[in-house]
Structure formats: structure tokens, C-alpha cells
Amino acid sequence: MKTKKLEAEVIERSDKMWMLCVPVSSVRIGETDRDLVKKKACVDYLRHIPIFIAKSRFDCKKWLDEHQNVVVKLGTLYEVA
């Protein structure tokens, strides 16, 4: 299975904190029922959510480097074999 390039975005909030937003699978975060996707009654979709908040842009990038495998897995759509 091929994985897409990770599309992470680091955004400064109004309170001068920084947040890391990444696309995640609705099934993998529990928003969509996996069984309904298996039955093809629903589809899995990507949703951009803030996954980490830090005091600096550097801290967000450092966290992403350390947790890249988990973030990629969260961003992989659930597929029925």
C-alpha cells in the first residue's frame, strides 16, 4: 500500500501558541463507525484537526519528527479488503 505525502500544517494561534494540524481518518479517530464502512453504508474521509499544541513552531516540528509514524497511520484511510 502506498502512503501519501504527509500534509502537516503548523499554524500560530491568537494566543501566540502554535498548533500542528494534520489530516486524520474519521474511522481511526472514532468519528465514523468501522462496521458501517465495511458494509459500505458510510465512507471514511480525512479531517484536518489540531493534534499538538506547543509554545514554538520548532517544538511542533520536533514533535512531528518524533511521532511521524503514528501521524501517517492516523492519516491513512480505512479500507475494506
Express each pLDDT in 17-76 by its tens digit.
999 999 999 999 999 999 999 999 999 999 999 999 999 999 999 999 999 999 999 999
Q: Say if residues 20 and 64 touch (Cβ distance below 8 Å).
A: yes
Q: Span 2-17, mean pLDDT?
A: 85
Residue 4 has pLDDT above 80, yes or no: no
CA dihedral 70, 74, 77, 81 (to 10 degrees): 60
Q: Is the CA virtual torsion 73, 74, 77, 78 positive or negative?
A: positive
The predicted structure's pLDDT at residue 2: 55
The predicted structure's pLDDT at residue 5: 72
